[in-house]
Amino acid sequence: MAQGTRLRVNEFTIYNVWLISSIEATWNKALENLSANLKEWKQGFYKTAIFAKILNICIRN
């Protein structure tokens, strides 16, 4: 009986470790994607700002 209980606890511990590492991996991937998206958005924003500035100069002249 004690051995069966110990086995179940070990299975539960292994499952929890697997679950936590899966969540951590998913979270890390989501953060990487967010970081990449923010960098891309920032570059796009700068390109748009530069284009708007050039367009504004052209319209004024």
Rounded Cα gap, residues 29 and 53, in angstroms? 36
Q: What is the pLDDT of residue 12?
A: 78
pTM of the model: 0.51
Instruction: Check residues 7 and 51 and name the one with the higher pLDDT.
Output: 51
Q: Quick one: tokens of 41?
A: 């958005």
Q: Mean pLDDT in the chain? A: 83
Rounded Cα gap, residues 25 and 9, in angstroms? 24
